[in-house]
Chain A
Amino acid sequence: MTPTLIFLGLLMATVVWWLVRQSVNVKPWVASAPSGAHQGVGQLATIKVGLGVFLAVATSLFALFVSAYAIRMELSDWRPLPEPNLLWVNTGILFVGSVGLQWAWRAASREQLRGVKQGLVVGGVCAIAFVIGQLIAWRQLNAAGYFITSNPANAFFYLLTSLHAVHLFGGLVAWFKTITRAWAGSEISSVRLGVELCAVYWHFLLVVWLILFGLLLST
């Protein structure tokens, strides 16, 4: 459970730090008129806070799978499987996708609709290409006789990659909404937030994939 505990430890430390800042030197029983400033509220867009909380939940989920992996790996029947080289290509594609969305984000803050569209297309196409690449990697493994039931290492490989892909699909839904809005030619301000959220989510899934890939390679 160590990976999960490390993650939760960091998260709880943040919560505690935030709470200390909110509560130290505050005398709750003293009445006062509300000041113009809103203590800690509303400085960030609500939807961004929502995404942040969701990412914490997703991180918890992945950390738990990694913990389970680490515990199950110690048992004697574990036979590591050879990762297909294709995974390196896929990783590259996912990286390009992230770059694309970062590009779109930058273009959005500079009010360049063209750049936004280009970046969005790159991000989405790369995500889809990545998933297809993963499917091909599955088929290669299957053809080589590494079935899901033949070893826990294989089972974890299929499980982790599909879990990651499912999260990408969720992202593609949001991406689709954003890109239709961009194509409908709406005001750039109405696309900006969506682009930003997609970019953050793509980066998150890239980091998760790098960690999972590292784990698969090193064991």
Chain B
Amino acid sequence: MAQVAHDASAQVGPLEVEDVELYHPKTFIGKYIWSQDAKVIAIQYAITAIAIGLVALVLSVIMRLQLGFPNTFSLIDPSNYLQFVTMHGMIMVIYLLTALFLGGFGNYLIPLMCGARDMVFPYVNMISYWVYLAAVLLLVASFFVPGGPTGAGWTLYPPQAISPGTPGIDGGIILMLVSLALFIVGFTMGGLNYVVTVLQARTRGMTLMRLPLTVWGIFMATVLALLAFPALLVSAIMMLLDRLLGTSFFMPAMISMGEQTAYDGGSPVLFQHLFWFFGHPEVYIVALPAFGIVSDLLSTHARKNIFGYRMMVWAIVAIGALSFIVWAHHMYVSGMNPYFGFFFATTTLIIAVPTAIKVYNWVLTLWRGNIRLNVPMLFAIGFVFTFINGGLTGLFLGNVTVDLPLSDTYFVVAHFHMVMAVSPILVVFGAIYHWYPKITGKMLDDGLGKVHFWITFLGTYAIYYPMHYLGFEGLPRRYYAYGETAFMSESAQDLNAAITIAAIIVAFAQLVFLYNLIRSLTKGKDAGHNPWEATTLEWQTTHTPPRHGNFDELPSVYRWAYDYSVPGAEHDFIPQNVPSEELVAARSEHQEA
């Protein structure tokens, strides 16, 4: 870190930071591969995350084929199923969503939206990506080691995660834990950048209360991640020691395959506490950036200021703070003291209050807006719908007595896919359609985008709505096949088949998206600098895509990011860097003419 402490930036305010020397790449490699430019790093993060995300998508389709048509396809055996569930879940949550929102959108948008030339520690930022890439490669490597990847479930609960009989206890689990540790190290390097850039590198006039909500969401999510990922690191280190050296942090005395193991006295519940101390904030690590981005998409495309800006900021902060005291709602079935259960149910319901405030504010932002139903807007509205659905089932599961029978059923699978899988993914899509024109200078195709939206949006409902019902019937999660049960109705299998067909259609719809991404690079319409007529600073750059250093001259900020449809203004939007005098001048010219 020391060598990036340019002495120029040491003692002076941001205005003078202007002449801080940027690192100047000379070769192709320096510019696009070994690059310290946050925008290039963002794209590297995004491509890597999407690539590994596609692996997770393929895994889910294979699982669905097994579940929907258990006797038709024999692609996988029961151990493979467990391995695929695990890898699918872990990749989606951590290596795709966390990396894409923070490493991808965070890197691209924070410096631009704050009016900075780059992240504050560009060298550390670059290393962050390469460590992330190493983590991803280790994870992929676990598919090829003897025994395959771990099948412990994405929660990696001991003792089963490292006991004989679970797939991948030889190499898979070790690679998984090391990969997670690397991910955390890499993320911490990036996260320091995101936080400190927001705190220190905002341009003149960009007060905290003028930051776009996108930046607020990513900022708070990064704070959560910086504080919560250590809990995962602690559990990963201790589990590695249990597995490699034979300590008994988590492993109790037990008889495995007829033999007494060497472990003694460890506490699996300790692992659960540590894991969920990370795991619950993780939900908000992917949700808060989505909240922020969606607020900006809704406001921009409804041509209206966001309803209750300050309330939105405070809700983000409140959700972030509260998310550290709800973790044990994932452990209602671990036999905890009923008073604890009561406490955690209460905090869980309290966190619903700021969340609900956000939802009301989104809806009120749309109210009587001049809505432009373009693709980013469709995805943003789709998010609000889906998030409400997933949030409501969360209220059910947050109550101990309701959770006990539903725990480990498809009701839970449906709930978390709605709230933390589909919702953030919809925002990812919306955000890509929204910012692609700035990143590449080309528009994505509108028609293909709409096809992509409708199939994905309706398709995910076809997938996950029926799962709630299956969960009520008692269909357990993480099962390879159900066989004959007394409690499942016969039609359940038909429903499973229908879900699988929907999942395949949704998966193929993503090919339309990929095709659109690649085709538009060359064939897309030219975007111009500000195709959406948006107010935030990234749309006001002189070059599109912005060059290294982002701005020719650092902008000064005169207003918040939400001056849409201001009465009396010439256009229905006023960029953040336009002073009021210019508006007055423009108007009088207009009247004279």
What is A's interface to B at a CB cutoff of 8 Å? 1, 4-5, 8, 11-12, 15-16, 19, 22-23, 26, 28-29, 31-34, 38-47, 49-51, 53-54, 56-57, 60-61, 64-65, 68, 71-72, 75-77, 148-149, 152, 155, 159, 174, 177-178, 189-190, 193-194, 197
In the complex, are the beta carbons of A71 and B238 less than 8 A apart? no
- Which of B13, B305, B310, B556 makes the CB contact (< 8 A) with A42? B13
| A/B interface sample: 6 pairs, CB < 8 A | A8-B324, A29-B560, A60-B231, A148-B245, A152-B266, A178-B2
In the complex, are the beta carbons of B556 and A34 less than 8 A apart? yes
| A contact residues around B388 at 8 Å (CB) | none
Given contact pairs A15-B321, A33-B556, A42-B14, enumerate 5 new A-B contacts (beta carbons under 8 Å).
A23-B313, A47-B121, A68-B274, A71-B267, A155-B248
- Which of B207, B227, B266 makes the CB contact (< 8 A) with A60? B227
In the complex, are the beta carbons of B277 and A49 less than 8 A apart? no
| A contact residues around B233 at 8 Å (CB) | 61
In the complex, are the beta carbons of B227 and A56 less than 8 A apart? yes
| Contacts known (A31-B563, A31-B580); A42 close to B200, Cβ less than 8 A | yes
A122→B484 CA distance, assembly (Å): 74
A188→B579 CA distance, assembly (Å): 43
| A contact residues around B313 at 8 Å (CB) | 19, 23
A46→B10 CA distance, assembly (Å): 6
In the complex, are the beta carbons of A45 and B230 less than 8 A apart? no
User: From A34, which residue of chain B is reached at the shortest CB distance?
Assistant: B205
**1/0 contact trace for B237-280 toward A, CB 8 Å?**
11001000111110000000000001011110010011001000
Considering the complex of A and B, which 5 residue pairs feature the smallest CB-CB distances, nearest first?
A34-B205, A77-B265, A42-B13, A31-B559, A61-B230
In the complex, are the beta carbons of B309 and A155 less than 8 A apart? no
In the complex, are the beta carbons of A64 and B230 less than 8 A apart? yes
In the complex, are the beta carbons of B2 and A155 less than 8 A apart? no
| B contact residues around A33 at 8 Å (CB) | 205, 556, 558, 579-580
Q: Does B210 count as interface, using CB distance less than 8 angstroms? A: yes
In the complex, are the beta carbons of A77 and B264 less than 8 A apart? yes
In the complex, are the beta carbons of B277 and A72 less than 8 A apart? no
| B contact residues around A75 at 8 Å (CB) | 265, 267
| B contact residues around A77 at 8 Å (CB) | 248, 264-265
In the complex, are the beta carbons of B3 and A38 less than 8 A apart? no
User: From A74, which residue of chain B is reached at the shortest CB distance?
Assistant: B267
Q: Does B1 count as interface, using CB distance less than 8 angstroms? A: yes
Q: Does B562 count as interface, using CB distance less than 8 angstroms? A: yes
A76→B248 CA distance, assembly (Å): 13
In the complex, are the beta carbons of A152 and B265 less than 8 A apart? yes
A189→B5 CA distance, assembly (Å): 13
In the complex, are the beta carbons of B11 and A45 less than 8 A apart? yes
User: From B124, which residue of chain A is reached at the shortest CB distance?
Assistant: A50
A177→B4 CA distance, assembly (Å): 12
| A contact residues around B267 at 8 Å (CB) | 71-72, 75
| B contact residues around A190 at 8 Å (CB) | 7
In the complex, are the beta carbons of A72 and B204 less than 8 A apart? no
Within B316-352, the residues touching A (CB, 8 Å) are 317, 321, 324-325
**1/0 contact trace for B458-473 toward A, CB 8 Å?**
0000000000000000
In the complex, are the beta carbons of B196 and A60 less than 8 A apart? no
User: From B266, which residue of chain A is reached at the shortest CB distance?
Assistant: A152
- Which of A50, A64, A68, A159 makes the CB contact (< 8 A) with B121? A50
A47→B4 CA distance, assembly (Å): 8
Within B1-30, the residues touching A (CB, 8 Å) are 1-5, 7, 9-15, 17
In the complex, are the beta carbons of A149 and B12 less than 8 A apart? no
A47→B205 CA distance, assembly (Å): 22
- Which of B17, B231, B309 makes the CB contact (< 8 A) with A29? B309
In the complex, are the beta carbons of A42 and B321 less than 8 A apart? no
| A contact residues around B208 at 8 Å (CB) | 19, 22-23, 39-40
- Which of A41, A54, A76 makes the CB contact (< 8 A) with B14? A41
A5→B207 CA distance, assembly (Å): 30
What is the distance, in angstroms, from A175's C-beta to the closest C-beta of chain B? 10
A22→B204 CA distance, assembly (Å): 16
| Contacts known (A16-B317, A26-B209); A38 close to B14, Cβ less than 8 A | yes
- Most chain A CB within 10 A, of B208, B245, B563, B580, is at B208
A101→B230 CA distance, assembly (Å): 28
What is the distance, in angstroms, from B324's C-beta to the closest C-beta of chain A? 5
| A contact residues around B5 at 8 Å (CB) | 45-47, 193-194
In the complex, are the beta carbons of B196 and A38 less than 8 A apart? no
User: From B273, which residue of chain A is reached at the shortest CB distance?
Assistant: A1
Q: Does B90 count as interface, using CB distance less than 8 angstroms? A: no
What is the distance, in angstroms, from B233's C-beta to the closest C-beta of chain A? 7
| B contact residues around A50 at 8 Å (CB) | 1, 120-121, 192, 196
| Contacts known (A11-B227, A29-B309); A47 close to B270, Cβ less than 8 A | no
In the complex, are the beta carbons of B270 and A4 less than 8 A apart? no
A37→B564 CA distance, assembly (Å): 28
A75→B238 CA distance, assembly (Å): 17
| Contacts known (A28-B310, A152-B265); A68 close to B270, Cβ less than 8 A | yes
| B contact residues around A178 at 8 Å (CB) | 2
What is the distance, in angstroms, from A78's C-beta to the closest C-beta of chain B? 8
In the complex, are the beta carbons of A28 and B560 less than 8 A apart? yes
Q: Does B353 count as interface, using CB distance less than 8 angstroms? A: no
User: From B305, which residue of chain A is reached at the shortest CB distance?
Assistant: A29
| Contacts known (A5-B324, A26-B209, A53-B192); A45 close to B265, Cβ less than 8 A | no
In the complex, are the beta carbons of A42 and B559 less than 8 A apart? no
A42→B17 CA distance, assembly (Å): 9
Within B553-573, the residues touching A (CB, 8 Å) are 556-560, 562-563
In the complex, are the beta carbons of B200 and A46 less than 8 A apart? yes
What is the distance, in angstroms, from A73's C-beta to the closest C-beta of chain B? 10
User: From B560, which residue of chain A is reached at the shortest CB distance?
Assistant: A28
| A contact residues around B210 at 8 Å (CB) | 28
In the complex, are the beta carbons of A68 and B238 less than 8 A apart? yes
A77→B266 CA distance, assembly (Å): 9
A29→B312 CA distance, assembly (Å): 14
- Which of A53, A149, A177 makes the CB contact (< 8 A) with B247? A149
In the complex, are the beta carbons of A72 and B249 less than 8 A apart? yes
A43→B227 CA distance, assembly (Å): 25
A44→B209 CA distance, assembly (Å): 20
| B contact residues around A32 at 8 Å (CB) | 558-559
User: From B325, which residue of chain A is reached at the shortest CB distance?
Assistant: A5
In the complex, are the beta carbons of A8 and B209 less than 8 A apart? no
Q: Does B202 count as interface, using CB distance less than 8 angstroms? A: yes
